[in-house]
Structure 1
Amino acid sequence: RHEAVQEAVVLARDDGDGQPYLCAYYTAASGESDASLSQQASEVSELRNYLKAAVPDYMIPSYFVPLAAIPMTGNGKVDRKALPAPQGHVLTGTPYAAPRSEVEVVLAGIWQDVLGISRAGIDDHFFESGGHSLKAMALSDEISRVLGISLPLQEVFLRPTIRELAACIELHRVREDQHDKHQHLVLLKKGKDQNRHIFMIHGGSGDVTVYVPLVNLLQDNANYWGIQLPTWEQPSPKRLSIEELAASYAGYMAEIQPHGPYIIVGMSLGGTIGYEVARLLEARGQQVERLILIDSHAPAAADTAVVEFSLETELELAGDLLSRMDGVDVLTETGLMGSCRTMEEVWNHVIQTVEQHERRDELLAGIKLLADEDIRQTIPQFDQLSLGKLLPYVHLIRSLTAALTRYSLQPLQHCTPDLIIASASADLEAARWCAGGRGHVRTYSAEGDHYSIFTAPYVAGLAAIMQELIQNKEAAGQPV
């Protein structure tokens, strides 16, 4: 559909290690086949950006190969066997920048080995240079082995260039004593203006990777910081408070930007945390330029039943969960009621019993079927997780949701929140934000539902609204 493309064919090819990747072949609409490498690189970059707004990241080809003509068979069909394998370096549209430090040199070597390319520049994008999720795992493992550090796979997705990864590794070394604190901050996108920052708060899963497709479409005139909860290690809930989380997050923001005006973004439950962060900052005399809430439900009325956790509640929930496993008397097998003395013991017992059971896969599948759609959509890679990895996410969500029941909106002094509502969120009442905060909000509508609003193709519409709000202090919205 792109105006610069005449014909296109996309193949799934094998990288030689048994891993598939997508390769796109195309002819130019202009009919010119002798464009310079720089022209081709610019064209490829444009095509990538075009696809980012239309399809999920995993559908974007790793390679783009310009051809003078698509090869055809004698009967007029595309001759797929005649399409050449991509050779040499990948045209990413990024000017080559050589490694400058020891860490960047090491990373460039690992980059080249994993991707099978002859040269890696420090600004080349891993996933635009032939990388995919399995190669990202190999990259993370090799960096951890060679440099003797523990590099989470998530960092490759969030910092997909050598320059960004090297900075992350060097920061880790310099500030290792503050490692736990900086687990909360993730630089989602580096901007040209190092004095301008936008802070984006996690939703119900505690993770900020959902923002990546959005920030990729926003202008790079600011640093986009994700504020997340570190990995939830324990397989049980704990008491959290919106007020305590907001106070901590305001402190992390102040380390990056000591004074206002601040721009704060919160998705889903993160909207409530962002609201409280804004309230705290205003109480300290700081200016909040923008508070953007993305499909965020206001906290319920104060008379709503407050959720608390105890050994009794967890025994009851675990027992109910296991009793639903048809044909397997897991409840009796666990000895659950008599042996557990803490909430953590309850869920560790459940995990151990299920994962050691001869019908483990069947039990895990049955447990996952009981999860509601919100849990399935909120937890990253839900279908691939073991019970030991799944339950900490579930309890994190329970803990954050319970914190929401204990929180009561207080009015903001100056800032008027901007509320972006997904078109499918019919039950989201903007008026509840006004009633609780005794103020006003401006509302905007974006296509999609609570989850798809952050994915292609709907994320392009969300990005357009966000860009207007970030750029203009007086954006046109519907006051409530």
Structure 2
Amino acid sequence: DPATAGCTGLTRVVCSGEALPYDLQERFLARFPAELHNLYGPTEAAVDVTHWTCVDDGSGIVPIGRPVANTELHVLDRHGLPVPQGVTGELYLGGVQLAEGYHRRPDLTGASFVRHTDGRGVTRRLYRTGDLVRRLPGGALEYRGRTDAQIKLRGFRIELGEIEAVLSAHPSVAECAVLLREERLAAYYVPAPGAAPEPASLAARLRAALPAYMVPTAWSPLAAMPLTHSGKLDRKRLPDPTAAPAGDRPAAPPRDAREQRLLEIWAELLGRSGLGIHDDFFDAGGHSLLALRLISRINAAYGTALGVSAVLAHPTVARQAALLRDGHGTDGRPGAAVPLAGGGVQPPLFLVHPVGGGVLCYREAAAVLGTGRPVHGLPAPGLTPGTPPAATVRELADLGLRAVREIQPAGPYRLGGWSFGGLVAYEMAHTLTEQGEDVALLALLDTGFPGTDGAPDTLLADFAEDLLRSAGLGMPEPLAASLAAAQAAGHEEDGLRTVRDELIRQDAGAGLTPGELARHYAVFRANTLAAAAYRPPAHRGAVHFYQSTDGARLGSARAWARAVRGPLVVRELDTDHYGIVRGAHIRETAKDMEKIMGEGLDR
């Protein structure tokens, strides 16, 4: 507008109340000599609590800034724990300016104004904003949407705003929106001027920053976003999503009756259609419980005795059909290594199963590490039908070493394990060291030192929580009390029926047979008892310990320091025991492990 040239007396403009788009900031700074300030804040905290002086830095981001005087900003995950820099969490506010609450609404007051205790034991009164933010490298905050856009898909709780924030940062995307449509994530985007991004490239960008279950499987380019009369996005007017999932190739149809039947099982479990025989089960939304249910359905349909690790080794319909067609009705020798990621010329990394026995938990780590080196998981014996669980950590270590040496006859070896898996990895590393072998990496991920995790008098409750949390589901407190009572009374079978009922209630257990559940409980129970009886020997090698800050295992590093005779390197991650193998936390850990392994190449 030519009239803007006459605004020579304008010195300062303050924006607040709505998110300030980056392109609007650029247009303002190009036309006016005035300062532009971006503020953020809710009425519950005296309106404005952050400030940012806008600059044309080419970042594509307009932060909401840093706290104003007498204000505290806390970025927390859903468990109330601080998230690392760059990770999206919910913004909580503290300080003298907080309101007392909502007039005559104690229910709303109790839900929004909370008491929070940090890792140092300090309790504060905070206001829960419901806004998603992330901390930028300089310390400023970036607004990334609302928590009330949270949805639940196949057992996972997903923040749609977090997906939209990552997608909108793509230079070829001008605007975007993500919705839950027909039990799948649908992405809508308006290309930036002169750009024509392919859905496959956008999906790849999201996969690099988010877990697989948060990547949309339907993509729709739009000329413009539908708007309401007030100029805001009208989500109700977004069209039906594109039928084909994003990817380099269309969904491949089944070639025979076996592939057709497997596709039908997949569609029923995943709650979606349009899948092809080369689609990856986990990229399509599968998780640990769904993999267990898938194997249960396949075994029932074909009379096989496959274990859940078969889904990891053969994650597509085509490969599962070939496995059945070739007559391989079992997983082979119990304890055999399962390939999690292949390719690359670097020496392999071996990751040992946690207490539940499976190795699905390492998929995200393998995605980071597997670009340059093979990554293998070592599942527990006992998960495959007809095989008993191991009784001791020593026995598991011997089985693990046998599997490792089949792939890598000589060192240096690289080992790791989350939780209970760290105990087995530690025993394996100690044995190798005593035999004169070189261990280039021993990584323990939040592994409690034996004797610090409590007595095994809550086995059923711990088993249920492990199943639920592994699938991204919550553990109801009444369920824990009921299972503890069943175990105390010696009614484990009744307790397992209660666990199965809860899985079905949370839409996660239908199709899971009582026998499958009992077999997994037997492995969980054997491993828990093995951990309680294990006494770690003095290890002369280096140990890299990655510790969560949820409090349950904060003493473990000090306990390990008394057993380790070599260097003990401790890194803390602001998450809980399950979060340490997910999302940004496991990506951070995996990159650190890769750096350590890279430094050891000259050994």
Shorter-chain TM-score bucket reads: 0.5 to 0.7
Does the aligned pair in 2 maintain the 1:192–1:220 contact within 8 Å? yes
| Partners of 2:528 and 2:370 in 1: CA distance | 33
- Aligned residue in 2 for 1:420: 546
- Aligned residue in 2 for 1:22: 185
| Partners of 2:205 and 2:454 in 1: CA distance | 52
Does the aligned pair in 2 maintain the 1:96–1:121 contact within 8 Å? no
| Partners of 1:44 and 1:191 in 2: CA distance | 22
Matched residue type, 2:368: L
Matched residue type, 2:174: Q
Answer yes or no: is 1:203 the counterpart of 2:354: yes
Structure richer in helix, relative to its length: 1
- Aligned residue in 1 for 2:598: 471
Answer yes or no: is 1:41 the counterpart of 2:200: yes
- Aligned residue in 2 for 1:281: 432
> Deviations for 1:423-442, whole angstroms, at most 9, x for unmatched residues?
33463343433432433322
- Aligned residue in 1 for 2:193: 31
Shift of 1:383: 12
Alignment of 1:350-361 (within 5 A): 351=493
> Deviations for 1:244-296, whole angstroms, at most 9, x for unmatched residues?
11111100111122222211111112112111111222333432221111112
| Partners of 1:110 and 1:400 in 2: CA distance | 33
Shift of 1:107: 4.4
| Partners of 1:240 and 1:460 in 2: CA distance | 33
**Residue of 381, 403, 417 corresponding to 2:530:** 403
SS in structure 2 of the partner of residue 458 of structure 1: helix
- Aligned residue in 2 for 1:51: 210
| Partners of 1:363 and 1:163 in 2: CA distance | 30
Alignment of 1:241-256 (within 5 A): 241-256=392-407
Normalised TM-score (structure 1): 0.66
- Aligned residue in 1 for 2:582: 455
SS in structure 2 of the partner of residue 68 of structure 1: coil
| Partners of 1:200 and 1:65 in 2: CA distance | 39
Q: Provide closer, same or farther for how the CA distance between residues 127 and 252 of structure 1 changes in structure 2, counting only shifts above 3 A.
A: closer
Structure richer in strand, relative to its length: 2
Does the aligned pair in 2 maintain the 1:297–1:429 contact within 8 Å? yes
| Partners of 1:232 and 1:131 in 2: CA distance | 23
Alignment of 1:124-163 (within 5 A): 124-128=279-283, 149=304, 155-156=310-311, 159-161=314-316
Matched residue type, 1:181: R
Alignment of 1:440-451 (within 5 A): 440-451=567-578
| Structure having greater relative contact order (Cα 8 Å, sep ≥ 6) | 1
SS in structure 2 of the partner of residue 181 of structure 1: coil
Matched residue type, 2:193: G
Answer yes or no: is 1:85 the counterpart of 2:237: no
Shift of 1:142: 8.3
| Partners of 1:201 and 1:295 in 2: CA distance | 13
Matched residue type, 2:333: K
| Partners of 1:278 and 1:387 in 2: CA distance | 36
Matched residue type, 1:254: R
Matched residue type, 1:70: M
Does the aligned pair in 2 maintain the 1:110–1:142 contact within 8 Å? no
- Aligned residue in 2 for 1:190: 342
| Partners of 2:290 and 2:501 in 1: CA distance | 28
**Residue of 173, 181, 184 corresponding to 1:13:** 181
Does the aligned pair in 2 maintain the 1:447–1:461 contact within 8 Å? no
**Residue of 249, 258, 262 corresponding to 2:413:** 262
| Partners of 1:82 and 1:387 in 2: CA distance | 45
SS in structure 2 of the partner of residue 9 of structure 1: strand
SS in structure 1 of the partner of residue 443 of structure 2: strand
Aligned length: 396
| Partners of 1:211 and 1:468 in 2: CA distance | 18
Identity across matched positions, percent: 26
Shift of 1:241: 1.4
Q: Provide closer, same or farther for how the CA distance between residues 275 and 21 of structure 1 changes in structure 2, counting only shifts above 3 A.
A: same
Alignment of 1:96-135 (within 5 A): 107=259, 111=263, 114=267, 116-117=273-274, 120=276, 122=278, 124-128=279-283
Does the aligned pair in 1 maintain the 2:307–2:331 contact within 8 Å? no
> Deviations for 1:216-258, whole angstroms, at most 9, x for unmatched residues?
2334212211111145599xx9871111111111001111222
Alignment of 1:246-395 (within 5 A): 246-300=397-451, 324=485, 351=493, 393-395=520-522
| Partners of 1:238 and 1:150 in 2: CA distance | 16
| Partners of 1:139 and 1:203 in 2: CA distance | 21
Matched residue type, 1:72: L
Shift of 1:418: 1.4
SS in structure 1 of the partner of residue 246 of structure 2: coil
| Partners of 1:362 and 1:201 in 2: CA distance | 26
| Partners of 1:324 and 1:145 in 2: CA distance | 33
